[in-house]
Amino acid sequence: MTQDLFEILDHPGPPSASLGPGAVLLRGFATSRTTALLAALEQVIEQAPFRHMLTPGGLRMSVAMTNCGPLGWVSDRTGYRYTAADPQSALPWPSMPDEFRDLAQDAAAQAGFANFQPDACLINRYVPGTRLSLHQDRDERDHDAPIVSISLGLPVVFLFGGLQRADKNLRVPLMHGDVVVWGGPARLRFHGVLPLKEGHHSLLGSQRINLTFRKAG
Ligand code: MD3
Ligand code: FE
């Protein structure tokens, strides 16, 4: 796995590469579709604006979040869970745009996961200084389905750990248009994001947006 990772860091040319069992980086897979994705995103955040959720410990998360699709991930003082309604509006989460679902399904298929049917899309917004500390994604019922992530805007350093929190982390730069599919033995690996650096992106300004597609219910 280490050898594969270094190949990506040294040679960003190849369109696709393995990050280890179950994790596939599809470099630039979304690039040709980012204008459509961002137009659809505008519609979603009009109905369900980004907000900073509270952790169960009462801390304000530095990542701002919203969701689309039948289920959305929420956190508050009572814990983490998926809900059908946005707690801020009491309305259902905005529907998942076709452009989102199609791209997630195409990426999953490309990575060997046929018939991926996401029912949740968590949308994360990073501004300079925003980070996401090391965690596992285990609030979804179906751990057999992969998670598909799409990176838009400013680049970031993604931390890819092991199955134990203390395992060594690999560092993977993720850039605008990159898509990663995480499934099988990678599904429960610890991961996080280093603080976003200052910068300017032509489409998104000083932000990074990450879409993650999940089978939550
Ligand atoms: C590896 N988001 O929302 S996406 C998250 O860039 C989250 O916003 C990060 O971690 C972000 O939970 C990372 C890449 C990712 C997502 C889920 C994973 C990597 C993963 C699940 C298992 C292993
Ligand atoms: Fe995660």
Other C-beta atoms within 10 Å of 3: how many? Answer: 6
Mutating to test ligand 1, I would choose from 149, 169, 170, 189 the residue with most ligand atoms within 8 A of its C-beta, which is 149
pLDDT attached to residue 16: 61
CA 116 – ligand 1 centroid, Å: 17
pLDDT attached to residue 18: 72
Distance of alpha carbon 104 from alpha carbon 88, whole angstroms: 27
Single-letter amino acid code for the residue at 96: M
Residue 138: exposure state from Cβ atoms within 10 A (0-12, 13-18, ≥19): exposed
Q: What is the DSSP letter of 97?
A: P
- Atom 22, ligand 1: residue with shortest CA distance: 187
Three-state secondary-structure class, residue 161: coil
pLDDT attached to residue 7: 42
Pick the ligand that lies closest to the CA of residue 169. 1
Show the domains of the chain with their CATH numbers. Answer: 2-214 (2.60.120.590)
pLDDT attached to residue 56: 94
CA 51 – ligand 2 centroid, Å: 17
Enumerate residue ranges in the chain where pLDDT < 50: 1-14
Mutating to test ligand 1, I would choose from 25, 55, 124 the residue with most ligand atoms within 8 A of its C-beta, which is 124
CA 92 – ligand 2 centroid, Å: 23
Three-state secondary-structure class, residue 43: helix
Q: What is the pLDDT of residues 135-172, one digit of tens each?
A: 999 999 989 999 999 999 999 999 999 999 999 999 99
CB 93 within 8 A of CB 103: no
147 Cβ below 6 A of ligand 1: yes
| Cα–Cα distance list, 179 to 10, 39, 72, 147, 209 (Å) | 18, 18, 20, 10, 12
Residue 178: exposure state from Cβ atoms within 10 A (0-12, 13-18, ≥19): buried
CB 139 within 8 A of CB 82: yes
**Token reading at 208:** 């990074």
Q: What is the pLDDT of residues 88-111, one digit of tens each?
A: 999 999 999 999 999 999 999 999
pLDDT attached to residue 8: 46
186 Cβ below 6 A of ligand 1: yes
Q: What is the DSSP letter of 4?
A: H
208 Cβ below 6 A of ligand 1: no
pLDDT attached to residue 3: 40
CA 81 – ligand 2 centroid, Å: 13
Note the pTM of the prediction, 2 decimals.
Answer: 0.93
